[in-house]
Structure 1
Amino acid sequence: MDMRRIAAVVVAVVVMVAVPAVASASVLTWRPCATQQEPTAECATVEVPIDRARPELGSAQLALARLPALDPAQRIGSLLVNPGGPGGSGVGFVQFGGLGSPDLGALRQRFDVVGFDPRGDWFSEPRITCDAATLFDPALNRFPSTRTGFDALVAHNRKAGEDCLARTGPLLANADTQSAAEDIETIRAALGESRISWLGLSYGTELGAVYASKHPDRVRTMVLDGAVDHARPLRQAILEEAAATEDALVRFADWCRSSAGCALHGQDVLRFYDDVVARAARGTIWSGDLGRPATADEVSAGVYNHLYIRDEWPALGKALAAAGGEFPDARGLTERNQFLTPIYGAYRAIGCHDFPSPFTGPADMGFMAGLLRAAAPHSWRYSEYWDLTSGCTGWPVRPKNPPQPHPVHGAPPILVVGGAHDPATPLAWARGLAASIDGSALLVRADDGHTGMFNSACARAAEVRYLVSGVVPGRGAVCR
């Protein structure tokens, strides 16, 4: 669920304007913000209230980036893009070539492609700001089963949340997906569009689905790729995702053992992985990236992040081999972790609104940790939903959007895309989300990696055809 691979970006100075509730033409002031990848990029900002029920709390400014349609005569409208997260940058995705693949060319020809940074993220202001060292403590036990360990986790998370709140202000308590979905409606009105098209990846599927549930008549087409089913009970979702991560790791290990393209070719890769993680737990795996020994959680998280893109499996083999070599260095794994990145504060703060801790105490958390290890006997040290929910245990900000159904009635057909071997968003979630949307179509990927957009030419082609034509794939469609 994320944008941790999108590099930090620089946005040109832009003008902020107030946005009326309804607009017949764009009221945005666009300024050039070209990059080497996208020389036609333009940027603007739009103002939204921090809390629509409490205007006295002030406003936030959302950063936007636009790539004007290359064929204005055949322009369909605006395609809004959210590349994931929570905490991902739509501005960076658009400006730095996120839609640069040749097989997405029709989108660039027919749409104004618009990326935006949701409230609190990246170049939107105010930005969710947290002290990295307070937010993440590598020595903290995220799987406590004793009262002492559980209380230490609660105290750490409370302190981290209070630090984020002090640095961010009232936006932190209003950084939920329900509020962000209403911001999309403000953006639509500011663009002067009667309806929008939407391309949402990972967390962007939850954000898009919430928007469609609130404003179905404002949707022209909507792709939800790498689907999150926000109606799922958290305990169930934790175990489903952990099992999906385990499945992806096992498939990588099978490929690596039998492929000459893997640095661990011919070895028992799962045993090698388990040994590296166990050595990291004893503090004996150095990370040149961190300048200290890597923890077991950090090693496991680094492997997980490589599983997102199928084409990165050879790089994962090299990184894992280096971490378990004679002179171990886990740099290739830990440099891909999000724990110390600028987006981790937004990831945690938004995540605690949407996926708050379900744990009631050490016995409960210890029991769930046991189920987690049973579902993921190798990869249990890191899965996103455990990272979110354990990190939200003791979080001091009340959640505004806990798991709940977001049924969609009255929208045009929406395309949901799910992967049978997606490490982050299990196929069951795509089926559940599709079932909550009247008239939706489900496209199933039988391949590996997180989202079809990043892993499947077949899925990309189907998404482009649908976004342009509005016609969904037939029932039972599968990309093999």
Structure 2
Amino acid sequence: MKPTMQTNLFLATLLGRLATAQTPPSFDWDSISPSTSLAYTDCYGAFKCAKLSVPLDWLDESSNGTNGTDRVSLAILKLPAVVNDTDPTFGGTIITNPGGPGGSGVEFVLLAGSRMQSVADGEKHYEILSFDPRGVGFTEPKSDCYNDEFSRAVTSIQQRSLGPLTGGLEIIRRQRALYDAYGRLCERGPDIHRYMTTSSVARDMVEIIDKIDELRQKEAQSSVPRYRRGASQQFQTRQEKDLPRIQYWGFSYGTVLGNYFASMFPGRVGRMILEAVVDVHDYYSAAWEKNLIDTESDYNTLFTTCFDGKANCALYQPTDSSASDIRARFDAFLASLDATPAQYVSPDSNNIEQFTRDDILGIVFSTLYQPLLYFPTLASGLAQAMEGNLTAVYQTLTQVPRSSAGYCPTPAPTEYTWASDALAGIGCGDAEPQAASTVAGFAGYLGTLEAQSPHFAASWAHIHLTCDTWRVRPAYRFAGPWTTPAPTGANASAEAGRPAAPILFLSSLHDPVTPRANAVAMAAEHPGAAVLTQANAGHGTLEVPGKCRDDYVKVYLATGEVPPADTVCEPDCEPFQPCAELEAGAAAKRSLGKRAGDGAPEWPPRRRLPLSVV
């Protein structure tokens, strides 16, 4: 797969969409001012937004102001619970992170907040809250190394034109040189890169839960008669064991954030679900060698579920006797592209393109994250391409704007296009400093990944290459250990320095980038933790309906009780099969902003990050 810096330095060709993007209703974040307390404003219809001002450097809190270069303004969004905060069934706030690193929590809650709520709500009802971490999305300052969309696009085109890393030592040498230039660009870029580590974001979350508690206490006090308000300041002098605790549900890289938080602040953990689990040691070392273990098995489900779906899958033919027949045709198509890349001339512009095996596999890789949602659209696009109609492929992969109007009147970004810069600032900033590898050494590393996933290793290897040439070192980063004391248990009194409940690790059975083995390994480092598996393919389980999974999550959030060891739940839906719950969820998402009557599912987002569920 041919990488692009425009969308993601780390994952190649995860670029376009075949259908109209799911764009939430607009909201002007400049209309609200940052504050050191939570002051919510109605936004995006049923949601509430706020900007929380926190210190740029948590080790230097000398600034008392709410603005300026020594502060960070966190964009926060929440989906209120279906009951009032005073209702006895209100279960509190679940803070979530979609992964990335660099994924927008604001965007995630807009698109998946109601889905999370439906899984979590049972006897208790929860509000879902997230935020754009440092340098990300609507949070300021931003971590944009370019601040110029034309320059970003030029780099992206250069990157793709060099070819895949599997093309030999000369291509590795040239790719590395371009990444090195990118590292130099970001080195002179925004200062926020020094303060974006997961350690700082974990400390931001402590501030968020404290401010949530502060606001709730004030709102409760405001309903108390004036003559009874003398005890209103009790929460300011509570003992450590009584401080507010987080309820957290993190996905993919969000499991790294959760692991950091629990390890740094174990006494502030109430409930913690870590889904699609990253091996934190592999992440910290910048090796990225424990991600592709199950990728090929996930890839194989494209063909097995297509065969099972028969006419519901555009790649299926009536003469097929097994999934192997479908895969053989697709392999032959890939081989033909090795021999002669496909050519395309745009019918509505003067743009031309050529597409290779790596381009097609890049599209496939992006759909492995959510097969239930994307396999049907993928199959349709691939079937067209195999018949010579490359329009869908062009719309997915092209980097060329239809006209110069895309950069006029200003090339400055008008949406969140610097996700790759944020990813590098967080992921490479968290990692141990990398000694520059030789070209031959990197080729050996690529070989290690190819042994795990011959189809998709080249794309994943870009992460290591980026950190290899990253120059900005953070002001502070946590170096472990990543573990927690034994939890107190649901029926015991809270104790300072100990989680209130064990951590629940959640995994799919065939995950393209966070294999179940990671969940098992991480759970072993946290006393009492359990692993719950849902037997679906894809990155995590959230977008795959499953009542069994839902019931365990509801019980855990309400009581702190984890499932029995080695529990495996079956999913309620499979790709290419009817799924009423999925259709209902798609309709809800379309109501956020898709064109009226446009029922097509979203194609993989252009900003697909390697460890993200959005």
Please, what TM-score do these two structures have when normalized by structure 2?
0.67
Are the structure 2 counterparts of residues 478 and 144 from structure 1 closer, same or farther at C-alpha, using a change threshold of 3 Å? closer
Correspondence for 1:460 among 539, 547, 550 = 550
Change (3 A) 1:210 1:233: closer
Match for 2:454 among 368, 371, 377? 377
The AA in structure 2 aligned to 1:422 is D
Q: Distance in 2 between matches of 1:50 and 1:223?
A: 28
Aligned length: 462
Match of 2:103 in 1: 88
Amino acid at match of 1:242: L
- Other-structure match for 2:403: none
Q: How far is 1:278 from its partner?
A: 6.5
Of 184, 206, 211 in structure 2, the residue corresponding to residue 162 of structure 1 is 184
Secondary structure in 2 matching 1:252: helix
Q: Structure 1 residues 467, 360: closer, same or farther in 2, change over 3 A?
A: same
- For structure 1, the residue ranges without an aligned partner over 5 or more in a row are 19-26
State the Cα deviation string for residues 413-468 of structure 1 (Å, max 9, x = none).
11001222111201111111111112211112222111111224132332233123
Alignment match of 1:180 (pick from 184, 201, 218): 201
Q: Which residue of 2 aligns with 1:116?
A: 131
For the 8 Å contact 1:82–1:115, the answer to whether it is kept is: yes
Q: How does 1:417-428 map to 2 (within 5 A)?
A: 417-428=506-517
Aligned residue number for residue 67 of structure 1: 79
Q: Distance in 2 between matches of 1:191 and 1:396?
A: 36
1:402-422 CA deviation, whole Å, 9 max, x = no partner? 986511223221100122211
- How do 1:390-469 and structure 2 match up within 5 A? 390-398=465-473, 405-409=481-485, 410-411=498-499, 412-457=501-546, 458-469=548-559
Shift of 1:152: 2.8
1:396 and 1:363 map into 2 onto residues whose CA distance is 21
| Cα 1:220–1:33 shift into 2, 3 Å | same
Instruction: Look up the match of 1:231.
Output: 281
1:77 and 1:196 in contact (8 A); partners too: no
In 2, distance between residues paired with 1:185 and 1:378?
41
Shift of the 235–186 alpha-carbon distance from structure 1 to 2, 3 Å rule, reads closer
Q: Is the 8 A contact 2:56 2:72 kept in 1?
A: yes
CA-CA distance at 1:271 after TM superposition = 5.5
Instruction: Write the distance in 2 (CA, Å) between the matches of 1:51 and 1:277.
Output: 53
Equivalent residue for 2:55? Answer: 49
**Is contact 1:120–1:171 with CA below 8 Å preserved after alignment?**
yes
Question: Helix, strand or coil for the counterpart of 2:82?
Answer: coil
Aligned to 1:214: 264
Q: Secondary structure at the match of 1:365?
A: helix
After TM superposition, give the deviation of residue 348 of structure 1 in Å: 3.1
Residue deviations 1:150-199, cap 9 Å, x none? Answer: 443333123223333444x1111222211111111111122126112011
The structure showing larger relative contact order (alpha-carbon pairs under 8 Å, at least 6 residues apart) is 2
SS at structure 2 position matched to 1:308: coil
1:16 alignment partner in structure 2 = 34
Specify which of 33, 44, 54 is matched with residue 43 of structure 2. Answer: 33
The residue aligned with 1:140 is 162
Match of 2:420 among 332, 335, 344: 344
Alpha-carbon deviation of 1:388? 1.3
Question: Partner of 2:74: helix, strand, or coil?
Answer: strand
The residue aligned with 1:58 is 70
Match of 1:126 in 2: 141
Is the CA contact 2:505–2:519 (under 8 Å) kept in the aligned structure 1? yes
8 Å contact kept, 1:6–1:93: no
Q: RMSD between aligned alpha carbons? A: 3.4
Shift of 1:214: 0.9
Q: State the Cα distance separating 1:103 from its structure 2 match.
A: 3.4
State how far apart, in whole Å, the 2-side matches of 1:389 and 1:304 are.
18
Q: Give the Å deviation of 1:68.
A: 2.5
User: Helix, strand or coil: the match of 2:54?
Assistant: strand
Deviation at 1:257, TM superposition (A): 4.3
Query: Is the Cα contact below 8 Å between 1:355 and 1:388 reproduced in 2?
Result: no
Write the letter of the residue equivalent to 2:129.
Answer: V
Say whether residues 1:292 and 2:313 are aligned partners.
no
Percent identity of the aligned residues? 28
Contact 1:229 1:429 in 2 (8 A): yes
Contact 1:209 1:408 in 2 (8 A): no
Structure 1 pair 424/348, CA: closer, same or farther in 2 (3 Å)? same
Change (3 A) 1:218 1:224: same
Aligned equivalent of 2:444: 367
Is the CA contact (8 Å cut-off) linking 2:307 and 2:313 kept in structure 1? Answer: yes
Structure 1 residue 297: Cα displacement: 4.2
CA distance in 2, matches of 1:234, 1:253: 35
Change (3 A) 1:470 1:14: farther
Change (3 A) 1:210 1:234: closer
Q: What code does the residue aligned with 1:125 have?
A: E
SS of match in other structure, 1:138: helix
Q: Residues 405 and 316 from structure 1, CA distance in 2 versus in 1: closer, same or farther, beyond 3 angstroms?
A: farther
> Is 1:241 aligned to 2:291, yes or no?
yes
CA contact (8 A) 2:83 2:125 kept: yes
Counterpart residue number, 1:334: 397
The structural deviation recorded for 1:273 is: 4.6
Q: Deviations over 1:207-244 (max 9, x none)?
A: 11111111111111011011111113789964442232
Measured in 1, the distance between the counterparts of 2:450 and 2:187 equals: 33
User: Cα gap change, 1:139/1:235 in structure 2, threshold over 3 Å: closer, same or farther?
Assistant: farther
Could you say if the C-alpha distance between residues 212 and 60 of structure 1 is closer, same or farther in structure 2, counting changes exceeding 3 Å? same
Distance 1:351 1:435, change over 3 A: same
Instruction: Pick closer, same or farther for the CA change 1:359–1:440 going to 2, 3 Å.
Output: farther
Equivalent position amino acid for 2:342 in 1: T
Larger radius of gyration between Structure 1 and Structure 2: 2
Q: Secondary structure at the match of 2:281?
A: coil
CA distance in 1, matches of 2:269, 2:154: 41
| Preserved CA contact (<8 Å) 1:256 1:264 | yes
User: Which amino acid in structure 1 is aligned with residue 109 of structure 2?
Assistant: V
Shift, 1:105, TM fit = 6.4
In structure 2, C-alpha distance between the alignment counterparts of 1:366 and 1:30, rounded to whole Å: 51
C-alpha distance in 1 between matches for 2:175 and 2:479: 23
The amino acid across from 1:367 in the alignment is G
CA contact 1:200–1:224 (8 Å) conserved in 2: yes
Q: CA deviation at 1:279?
A: 1.9
Q: Distance in 1 between matches of 2:270 and 2:172?
A: 47
Partner in structure 2 of residue 387 of structure 1: 462
Aligned to 1:306: 367
TM-score normalised over the length of structure 1:
0.85
Task: Check the 8 A contact 1:62/1:119 in 2, yes or no.
Answer: yes
CA–CA separation in structure 2 for the residues paired with 1:473 and 1:119: 34
